[in-house]
Amino acid sequence: MKKSAVISIIMAGLAAGGAFAQMAGVGMGGNGGHMGDQQHQTGNMMSSEQSHQMMDSQMMNHEMMRDISGMMGQMSEIIHKMTATMDHGSGSNHDAMKEIGNMMRDLAAQMSEMSTHIERGKMDQATVKAMRGKMELLIKKLDAMQKDGK
Amino acid sequence: MPHLDIRAANLGSALIIAPIFMFMIGAPAAASANEGLTYYEMSAGYTTGDFGTTNRSDLYRISAVFGYITPRYDLSVTVPYLILPENGGGVKKTQNGPGDIIMRGGLELLPEGLGGFSLGGSLAAKLPTADQEKGLGTGEADYGAFISARQRLYKTRLFIQLGYIALGRTSSEANKGVYLYGAGVWQIIFSGEIYVSFVGRKRAIAEVEDPQEIHAGFLYPLSANHAIKGGVFTGLNNGGPDYGLTMGVVNWF
């Protein structure tokens, strides 16, 4: 964490330093006296900035968060299905309770693994796919238990 | 006839913006509370260039982004603050103030399957919240529609984007709309991701070349719920910026 914080501060410092260095030199390169040009370039500069923001041309953080969100959605679905299975009478069945207990342990392990991967910044697609596959299996088991319980 | 033009433009604008707001209001209600992530982002940016004119201009931007994202859709609002030094008629002065707010909603039209291909679409509106007199905005709302196709190949992702922005009714602009196109690649490297992309668009103002730019940047997770991101870009012709840079922090919960 300390290393990350130092990197963060250095990067922010470099960005701010660059910006203020440029700010100090504002207008030095201009030849002045062209208000029409000034309006045109301001319009073009705004269009450039805003069109990128509207288009979201980087998209990267969205994709990363979408991966995390997808796994959180699956975890939420598993918890809901566990509750539904217990509500449908499997709570009185010792074997079913034992199975749900095992699933809860698996789910806790998945949550812990996800947290570790994100913290280490190693949330690559292979990891995401592997974890989602494991959770998909849990969901299928719960679906089967719900069908057996009815 | 001018009245008819204005009515037609207003109707066109309403037809574009209505789905964005309906989507923004309706989508969160349709999703379960645990499905998505809320995030906010703070970033600062700098852009400089002559944009095909005889004057060089600088723009400093501080932006706050508030958003919500799920595997199926994402919503965001970008609130910028702009600092615009001016050098006109030999007089130097600096204008600053809130910029135009951008509202954006994206939908996964074709979620990623086993082959790694996905397709997304988005709608965006730029609201005229900036002071037009100060030159911080056009004083008109713009509306855009975009589509992006992505292909994941293990740790690499390729993408192409196409879009169209309907511009507000400003008489100084040569075009009433601009189309945009882009392509790029992301790569997972070390603990983060880097990207390089090309973005081009039709010029909004006559007498300059259609702007084309190259962007490069990174995203690095610092912990389980926040990351830093940064990027640089440069114009490939005189219609775009000379160069620019951006740095930001993203937090989600």
Instruction: Report if pTM > 0.90.
Output: no
Chain B residues 24-83 with CB within 8 Å of chain A: 32, 34-37, 39, 41, 44-61, 63, 69-71, 74, 78, 80
Q: Look at the block and give the residue holding tokens 């931007």.
A: B61
Cα separation, B63 vs B101, whole angstroms: 10
Beta-bridge partners for B183: B160, B198
Cα separation, A131 vs B48, whole angstroms: 44
| pLDDT over 90 at A97, yes or no | no
Calculate ∠ Cα B206-B44-B40, nearest 5°.
Answer: 110
Q: Residue B157 has what pLDDT?
A: 85
B chain contacts of residue A41, beta-carbon cutoff 8 Å: 49-53, 55, 57
A chain contacts of residue B140, beta-carbon cutoff 8 Å: none
Q: Residue B240 has what pLDDT?
A: 82
Contact B170, A40 (CB under 8 A): no
Q: Which range has highest mean pLDDT (A97-101, B96-100, B132-136, B249-253)?
A: B96-100
The overall average pLDDT reported for chain B is: 80
Query: A8, A14, A38, A55: best mutation site toward chain B, by most B Cβ within 10 Å?
Result: A55
Q: Chain A contact for B140, CB < 8 A?
A: no
Rounded mean pLDDT, A69-80: 73
Name A47's Cβ contacts closer than 8 Å, sequence gap at least 6: B178, B201, B204, B205
CB contact under 8 A, A56 and B69: no
pLDDT digits (tens, 9 = 90+) for B178-227: 899 999 998 877 767 889 999 998 876 667 788 899 999 988 877 767 78
Give the pLDDT band of residue A120 (cuts 50, 70, 90). Answer: low
Question: Which chain B residue shows the shortest CA-CA distance from A54?
Answer: B124
pLDDT digits (tens, 9 = 90+) for B122-151: 999 999 999 888 888 878 899 999 999 999
Residue of A18, A31, A44 with shortest CB distance to B46? A18
Backbone angles phi, psi at B230, to 5 degrees: -160, 160
Q: Which amino acid is at B91?
A: V
**CA-only gyration radius of chain B, Å:** 19
